[in-house]
Amino acid sequence: MNAELRTPYDFSGLGAMLTPRSVAIVGASGDPTRIGGRPIAAMLKAGFKGTILPVNPTRDEVQGLACYATVDDLPEAPEAGIVAVAAKHAPEVVDALGRKGCRSVTLFSAGFAETGADGERAQEDLLAIARRHGMRVLGPNTLGVYNVEIGYYGTFSSSLELAFPLSGPIGIASQSGAYGAHLAAMARLRGLGASVLITTGNEADVTVADAIGWMAGADEVEVILAYQEGFRDGPKLLAALDAARAAKKPVFMLKSGRSSLGASAAASHTASLTGDDAVAEAVLAEHGVIRVRDTEQMLDFAYAARPRIYPASNSLGIITVSGGAGIVATDEAAEQGLPMPLMPEAAQAKLLDLLPYGAPANPLDCTAQALNDLSLFEAFTRSALADGGYRSILCFLTYVAGGASLAPRLIKTLERLRAEFPDRLLALCIIADDEKVAAYERAGCLVFTDPSRAVRAIAAMGRVGAAFTAPEASRPALPSVALPQTAPDEHQAKALLGGAGIQAAPERIVRSADEAARAAADLGFPVVMKIVSPDIVHKSDIGGVKLAIADEIEARAAYGDILASVAASAPGAHISGVLVARQLSGGVECLMGISRDPVFGPVAVFGLGGIFVEILNDVAIRTCPFDHEAAKETIGSIKGASILKGARGRPAADIDALADMLSRLSAFAAAAGPRLVSIDLNPVLALPDGAFALDAVIELDEEARA
C-alpha cells in the first residue's frame, strides 16, 4: 500500500516547521519566561542544531544572540518563522517573512477565529497572505511544536521550565495546546520518550491530520498519539491515517466529544465541526486507528508499542504465581475479546509432571514454588511459548520479582526466552524499584503493575497488528448514476437504484382501477398498494397504503379508496399514480441508508428494523464505497446480528444478498456525487433467499446544480 500514490497530499511540507535549519523569532524577548523568550531559552538550553534569529526593533541582542530590528534585516531566509506578536501586527510580520523567503510560520498570536466572526475574518486574511508566499501555517493560537532530536523548540509551553521531554519514538499531535502539552508532560513523568509535539490550535492551515501525515514519513516518530476534538477535512485525515498504517506506525487517538455533552462543550470551545461521533468511530476503525478512552490508556499503549511487536493474530498465555491475579487478567482478556486458548493436553501433562499442584491450562498457575525454583517458571513459560504458541505472554510475578537476589536470575531467564521467541510480546506484572524495572525492560519485557491494564495494552497491540496486516479492501466498481433534477418518487427511486443492481419487490405503477387489478394479477397476490406522490411523505397516515390485498376485486376497491383518502387529506398533492407491489412476507426486516457526513462524505448505515434501531440504536456505519466483504463485516457487526443468522428458530436470512445490496448502495452513493443528501431503504426484507427493498426514499440537494 503506497499512500503517496493514492493521495494528493504532500505531508512532507511540514518539514520546514519541524526540522528547520534556521528559525526567526519575531517578537523575541530577553526574558526567558515570556512568550517571545521561551523558545529561544529552550533552544539555547537544548543546543538547537540550526540558526536562531531573534527579531525585535528595540534590542541589539537577545539572550546572548544578535537581534535584528526587522524581518527584512535578517541575514538569511529562515526556514521557520515564529510569530510572537499581538494579533494586529501578525499580518505585516507574516508578509515580511514571506517576502524574505521563509517557508513556514508558527503563529503563537491569539485573538483570531477562537474569538468570533471578526477574528475568523482576520484569520482568513492572515492565511491568504501566507498562501501567497507559499508558506505553511501552524496556528494561530497554537502552543507550537518541538522536535527533541534537533533541539528545536518552537513553543512557549512553560512545561519546559519543569523538565525537558525525553528523546524517543513517540510523536504527539494535538489540536489542544494545553492538552497536548499535558500529555507530553505525563509521558515525561512515565519516562517515555516523545521527541515530537505538534499542537495545531485554530488549524487555519495545518491540522492534526497534517501532523499525523508528516509523522508517518518522519524518522523521529514510530508511534503516533493524537488528540482531536473534531475533524474538518475527511479525505486528508484518511490519507494521513493510511500513510501511517503503510509505514507501520500505530495511531492511538483520543477523539473527544464522544458524548453529546462533550460534543457541545467541544462546539463551544472551538469553531471546529465536531461531526457525528458514531461516524468518526467507524471511520477511525476502518483506517486502523486505535481509539483510546483516556490519557493514561494512550500512554499505556504507547509504552506497549516500544518493542514494535504487533501480533496480528493475537492470543494470550498467562503465567502466574497467583490464581487470583490469573482470574483478574482472564476476565479482562474476555472483555477485550483477546483469545486465551487452553494449552495442548500433552503439554499440560508434561507440566503437571513437573509441578503436581500447578494448573497448566491457561492461565498457567506455576504457584509460588516457581519463584523458589526458577527452572519451573522457565519450563512453564517456554511451554506456553512453544507448545501453547501464544503470541503474547503475561507473567504475574508481583513484588517477588523485585527481590534483590531473584531479579538478576529472573532477568537472565527472560533474556533466554526473549532470544528464543523474538516475535512474541512479553509482558510482566511486577512491583520493583525503577532500576530493576529498567533492567526487565532492557531484557525485552513490558512492565506493568496492574494486570488488567497489562491485558488491555496487549490486546491493543494485537489490534494494531490486525490493522497493519488487513488486506486492503477492494474498491467496488461504481455504477453510472444520473440523478434527476428533483427528488424522485418511490417508483422512480427504486428504478434508479435498480439500475445499480439494488432489487425491490416486483412492482408496477398504475393509473386506474383496471390497471391495478391487472398489475396485481400479473405480480401475484397478495399485493400492497401505495400512493405515489412527490408531495406526500407519510403515506400511511393519510390512508395512502393498503396491505394484504388478496384478489382483483380488492385491488380495484383499494385503488379507489386510496385516491379518495388522499384527495380528502391532501387535496393539492400531485399524484403520479398508485404503486402495486408483490407483498413479500417472512424474513427479517432490516433498514439500509445513506447519509452525507459533512466531513467524510456519504456513509452507509445498516440496522435491523423496529426496536433494534429505534430503541437500541444498534446500527453499523461505514464510509462509501466498499466491497461485498466489507459489507458483510458491517452487517455482522451489529449486536442483533444473530437474528439474521437464524436465532429464535427463524430461517437464516440471505446475508450475502444483503451484503450485495449494501455494497451496491455504497457504490451508488459514491457515484452519485454531492447532490445526494440521503437514501432510506426502510424496510429491506431479508428472506432466506434474496433481499428486497420494500420502500425507497432518495433526498437530493435541490439547490445544488445538477
Interface residue with its own copies among 179, 252, 600, 668 (CB under 8 A) is: 179
Give, to the nearest 10 degrees, the angle between helix 90-100 and helix 117-132. Answer: 10
CA dist., res. 566 & res. 522, Å (int):
26
C-alpha count within 13 angstroms, C-beta hemisphere, residue 444:
19
Interface residue with its own copies among 326, 577, 607, 609 (CB under 8 A) is: 326
Interface residue with its own copies among 647, 652, 704, 706 (CB under 8 A) is: 647
Rounded to the nearest whole angstrom, what is the least distance from the CB of residue 530 to its own copies in the complex?
20
Rounded to the nearest whole angstrom, what is the least distance from the CB of residue 560 to its own copies in the complex?
28
Q: Which amino acid is at 564?
A: A
User: Counting contacts by CB under 8 A, is residue 86 touching its own copies?
Assistant: no
Binders of its own copies in range 226-245 (CB under 8 A): 227, 229
Instruction: Calculate the dihedral angle through the C-alpha atoms of 665, 666, 672, 678, rounding to the nearest 10 degrees.
Output: 80
**Given the complex with its own copies, which of 65 and 185 has the nearer CB atom?**
185
**Given the complex with its own copies, which of 335 and 420 has the nearer CB atom?**
335
Q: In terms of Cα–Cα distance, which of 123, 453, 95 is closest to 300?
A: 453
**Given the complex with its own copies, which of 217 and 317 has the nearer CB atom?**
317
- Per-residue x/- marks for its own copies, 398-417, CB under 8 A? xxx-xx--------------
User: Counting contacts by CB under 8 A, is residue 703 touching its own copies?
Assistant: no
Residue 109 CA to its chain's centroid (Å): 30
How does DSSP assign 163-228, residue by residue? -PPPPSBEEEEESSHHHHHHHHHHHHHTT--EEEEEE-TT-SS--HHHHHHHHHH-TT-SEEEEEE
Binders of its own copies in range 118-147 (CB under 8 A): none
CA dist., res. 482 & res. 700, Å (int):
12
User: Counting contacts by CB under 8 A, is residue 492 touching its own copies?
Assistant: no
Given the rule CB under 8 A, which of 91-99, 250-258, 416-424, 591-599 is the region that contacts its own copies?
250-258
Given the rule CB under 8 A, which of 13-21, 379-387, 438-446, 611-619 is the region that contacts its own copies?
611-619
Binders of its own copies in range 412-441 (CB under 8 A): 431
User: Counting contacts by CB under 8 A, is residue 296 touching its own copies?
Assistant: yes
User: Counting contacts by CB under 8 A, is residue 273 touching its own copies?
Assistant: no
DSSP state of 504: B
User: Counting contacts by CB under 8 A, is residue 576 touching its own copies?
Assistant: no
Alpha carbon of 403 to those of 395, 400, 416, 630: distances in Å?
A: 16, 5, 20, 51
Instruction: Count residues binding its own copies (CB under 8 A).
Output: 82
User: Counting contacts by CB under 8 A, is residue 114 touching its own copies?
Assistant: yes
Are 591 and 679 in contact by the 8 Å Cβ rule? The answer is no
How far separated are the first and last CA of the chain, in Å rounded?
A: 35
Binders of its own copies in range 304-323 (CB under 8 A): 321-323
User: Counting contacts by CB under 8 A, is residue 177 touching its own copies?
Assistant: yes
Residue labelled with grid coordinates 479492501: 473
Q: Using CA of residue 529, residue 534, residue 538, residue 541, what is the dihedral sign?
A: negative
Rounded to the nearest whole angstrom, what is the least distance from the CB of residue 426 to its own copies in the complex?
19
Interface residue with its own copies among 15, 262, 673, 688 (CB under 8 A) is: 262
Q: Which residues lie across from 582 on neighbouring strands?
A: 527
Rounded to the nearest whole angstrom, what is the least distance from the CB of residue 647 to its own copies in the complex?
6
Rounded to the nearest whole angstrom, what is the least distance from the CB of residue 369 to its own copies in the complex?
10
**Given the complex with its own copies, which of 434 and 703 has the nearer CB atom?**
434
Rounded to the nearest whole angstrom, what is the least distance from the CB of residue 488 to its own copies in the complex?
28
Q: In terms of Cα–Cα distance, which of 602, 558, 601 is closest to 580?
A: 558
Are 398 and 429 in contact by the 8 Å Cβ rule? The answer is yes
Q: Which amino acid is at 270?
A: T
Interface residue with its own copies among 34, 269, 382, 628 (CB under 8 A) is: 269
Three-point CA angle 171, 177, 180, nearest 5° = 35
Interface residue with its own copies among 12, 158, 313, 469 (CB under 8 A) is: 158
How does DSSP assign 239-294, residue by residue? HHHHHHHHTT--EEEEE---SHHHHHHHHHH-S-----HHHHHHHHHHTT-EE-SS
User: Counting contacts by CB under 8 A, is residue 350 touching its own copies?
Assistant: no
Binders of its own copies in range 27-66 (CB under 8 A): none
**Given the complex with its own copies, which of 70 and 115 has the nearer CB atom?**
115
User: Counting contacts by CB under 8 A, is residue 265 touching its own copies?
Assistant: yes
Given the rule CB under 8 A, which of 208-216, 291-299, 590-598, 693-701 is the region that contacts its own copies?
291-299
Are 473 and 630 in contact by the 8 Å Cβ rule? The answer is yes
Interface residue with its own copies among 175, 348, 533, 623 (CB under 8 A) is: 175
CA dist., res. 42 & res. 148, Å (int):
11
User: Counting contacts by CB under 8 A, is residue 527 touching its own copies?
Assistant: no
Interface residue with its own copies among 118, 472, 514, 614 (CB under 8 A) is: 614
Binders of its own copies in range 450-489 (CB under 8 A): 450-453
Rounded to the nearest whole angstrom, what is the least distance from the CB of residue 326 to its own copies in the complex?
6
Interface residue with its own copies among 6, 34, 258, 416 (CB under 8 A) is: 258
Given the rule CB under 8 A, which of 78-86, 92-100, 172-180, 278-286 is the region that contacts its own copies?
172-180
Are 530 and 545 in contact by the 8 Å Cβ rule? The answer is yes
User: Counting contacts by CB under 8 A, is residue 542 touching its own copies?
Assistant: no
Furthest-apart CA atoms within the chain: distance in Å: 101
Residues in CB range of 288: below 8 A, 6 or more apart: 241, 244, 245, 251, 464, 467, 468, 470
Q: Cβ-count burial of 109 within 10 angstroms (0-12 exposed, 13-18 middle, 19+ buried)? A: buried
Given the rule CB under 8 A, which of 543-551, 557-565, 604-612, 689-697 is the region that contacts its own copies?
604-612
How does DSSP assign 18-57, residue by residue? HS-SEEEEET--S-TTSTTTHHHHHHHHHT-SSEEEEE-T
**Given the complex with its own copies, which of 648 and 705 has the nearer CB atom?**
648
Binders of its own copies in range 355-374 (CB under 8 A): 357, 359, 361, 363, 365, 368
Alpha carbon of 305 to those of 266, 270, 339, 525: distances in Å?
A: 30, 32, 20, 63
Rounded to the nearest whole angstrom, what is the least distance from the CB of residue 125 to its own copies in the complex?
20
Are 371 and 377 in contact by the 8 Å Cβ rule? The answer is yes
User: Counting contacts by CB under 8 A, is residue 379 touching its own copies?
Assistant: no
Interface residue with its own copies among 74, 328, 635, 700 (CB under 8 A) is: 328
Given the rule CB under 8 A, which of 217-225, 328-336, 572-580, 687-695 is the region that contacts its own copies?
328-336
Binders of its own copies in range 623-642 (CB under 8 A): 639-640, 642
